[in-house]
Amino acid sequence: MSETWQDNIQMIRDSARAIVPADRSLDRIRKARFHGAGYSREVMAQATELGWPMMWLTEENGGFGMGMREVCALMEELGAGLVPEPILSAMMAGALLQENLPEPATTGDAVIVTAWQDRSGSLEWHGGAAGSRLAGTKVYVSGAAGADLFAVPTACGVAVIHRDTAGLAIETQETLDGGYMGTLRFDDVAADFVPCGHVEAVIGKATLAHAAYLLGLSDAAFAITLDYLRIREQFGRPIGSFQSLQHRATEMKLQLELTRAAIEATARRIDTGAGAIERQQGVARCHLRAGSLAMLVAREAIQMHGAMGITDEADIGLYVRKAMTEANLFGAPTQQRRRLAEFLTENAA
């Protein structure tokens, strides 16, 4: 079993080279910013061909049935490459729908994303159902601008809605990284609900996977910053030789490795059958660490690069913008701290 998941991880990291260049070139990322849907449908089709959106589907339903260690390895690679495609959102849809996932989404002919969050500042997903209809709002829908189908979890089950369905209004707003975030408004939309008793588990897994994306993003940004410290000279020597900057770089490295260890440990616990409370606590800690880490590295990168750190011409500027856009998705640090405090209160009682 141990060798199987380790081999899977190496295979997944190798397959990521099809979308994330080995030299970490950001040419494609730059071209996608503020253009069309903010991501490439062709790349989404390529990701589907590689099987990434179906990683959580069971083998009986045409998926790979892979665990969190493999998924986190993939998301770390995608984060390092600033991949804007809503691969995680499509993965959630597959996990929620399983055998009911529409065929066009499995072949790459259609893009499906998940619309789960009820409102800003909340991690609730139960809203949206009104009898056999959809009513209300789902916010922070990644990939909504270019999606064909939406998987909408509610207290009554999961509904699959086409973007052209009567009564559905899709609003998109530009994000700092050059992408778009969507808001879906349902006005008495007819829907067929598929029973799904594991929505909470899927959202938890997706939250951990997103933490891995933030880890990959932070690791790549840190590497760029270290390179800059080695080549930028001041007073006749590299600024990386200044003790104050060395201390700050060491703190970033320490937080990177602590976050990596936390994500790997939580992924292993989930894969080996940890209980629901243990999983939820682990996921909250990991995302708290990853979100805080992304913002720490972003702040320090700007300080160490100077004004060029926020320019479009500098690669680090793209990482800073992505960190600022992504850090609060799936729960801002304040929300994760609140969840952890609630767990501690419940355990004490």
Do 16 and 151 belong together in one domain?
Answer: yes
Decide if pLDDT at 2 tops 60.
no
pLDDT (0 to 100) of residue 1? 42
Q: Which helix (H) or strand (E) holds 44?
A: helix 41-50
The whole domain housing 308 covers: 199-348
Q: What is the mean pLDDT of the chain?
A: 92
Domain end, chosen from 162, 194, 226, is at 194
- Local structure of residue 321 (DSSP, 8 states): H
- pTM summary value: 0.94
312 Rama sector, left if φ>0, alpha if ψ -120 to 50, beta otherwise: alpha
Within this chain, do residues 107 and 241 fall inside the same structural domain, yes or no? no
Of residues 349 and 75, more confidence is placed in 75
Pairing type for strands 133-142 and 180-190 reads antiparallel
Return d(Cα 269, Cα 18) in angstroms, integer: 30
Q: Are 87 and 163 contained in the same domain?
A: yes
Let me know: does 136 contact 163? Beta carbons within 8 Å. Answer: no
The enclosing domain of 110 has a CATH number of 2.40.110.10
Between 342 and 213, residue with greater pLDDT? 213
21 and 163 belong to one structural domain: yes
Q: Map tokens 């209300």 to a residue.
A: 136
CA distances 253 to 73, 208, 213, 223, 260, Å, are 19, 20, 17, 10, 11
Q: Same domain, yes or no, for 49 and 157? A: yes
Query: What total number of domains does the chain contain?
Result: 2
Q: What pLDDT score does 349 carry?
A: 56
Cα gap 145→11, rounded to integer Å = 31
Kindly state whether residues 29 and 129 are assigned to the same domain.
yes
Are 209 and 309 contained in the same domain? yes
